[in-house]
Amino acid sequence: MANTGDLVSMKLIADRLMQNPVLKDLNWEFIVDHGVEVMRILETPALFVNRSETLEVKDLRAMKPVDMMKITGISRVLEGEFIPLWTNDDILADDYPLFQDLPNNDENTYSVNSRYIIVNFEEGKIHVSYKAIATDEDCYPLILNNAVLLRCIESYIKWKWFDILNDMDMISDRKLNKAETDYCFNAAQADANLKLPTQDEMESLVNQITQILPNRSQHAQRFEFLGSKERMRIQ
């Protein structure tokens, strides 16, 4: 089971890779780029840290946080209260800032494009909760000090570097195939290891599944009580 509290710098990966003479020409940019890439491929919850930020809305939109990987929830901040927003399925949502009159919609909604979070109210504030890759003081990625994950990232970088060397006829197809096989094996192990829930998470999951009366309005309470245990009064 993953240890989600112990983080190490990507520099540790670089030091371990440099011990292989074939990888002595690796540069730091290549290691960071492909290290982050494989973490996105795995997309396991334990790889990210939870962050939140209050953003100013002007002209129906707010600039996305630069380190945001995945949105977990957005709420409108109105008179000291947090009002959850719903995802907008309107295919013209990105064009709202161009409209003279917004479509008639009583619900607070949002949509996301490459730069902005677009809402259906002119001005105000929104509170965004999201997942981000942890970084150190130099903005280099931090990763879990998990042996299976470290081995997976190393094997992915090695495979990508061997692919370049193979194109240059510097290593054989057999070595490239072995590097790819090693990565596939390690990726499967890392994916299963990091997604394995803790005992507390399993308890919360059971409470969600065994609800006596399913609550269809959890979104309005920001899923605050989704994993709470229910009790039946028989008297």
Hunting for tokens 């607070």 — which residue is that?
A: 108
**Between residues 218 and 17, the one the model is more confident about:** 17
Average pLDDT of the residues in 152-170? 94
Q: What is the pTM of this model?
A: 0.65
With 80 as the cut, is the pLDDT of residue 217 above it?
Answer: no
> pLDDT value at position 167?
95
User: What would the 3-class secondary structure string for the chain be?
Assistant: CCCCCCEEECHHHHHHHCCCHHHCCCCHHHHHHHHHHHHHHHCCHHHEEEEEEEEEEECCEEECCCCCCEEEEEEEEECCEEEECEECCCCCHHHHHHCCCCCCCCCCEEEECCCEEEECCCCEEEEEEEEEECECCCCCEEEECCHHHHHHHHHHHHHHHHHHHHHCCCCCHHHHHHHHHHHHHHHHHHHHHHHCCCHHHHHHHHHHHCCCCCCCCHHHHCCCCCCCCCCCCCC
> pLDDT value at position 106?
67
> pLDDT value at position 1?
40
With 50 as the cut, is the pLDDT of residue 25 above it?
Answer: yes
Average pLDDT of the residues in 149-153? 92
Q: Where are the domains of the chain?
A: 7-47+142-195, 49-133
Q: Is the dihedral of CA 216, 222, 224, 226 positive or negative?
A: positive
Q: How confident is the model at residue 105 (pLDDT cuts 50, 70, 90)?
A: low
> pLDDT value at position 2?
42
3-state secondary structure of 33: helix
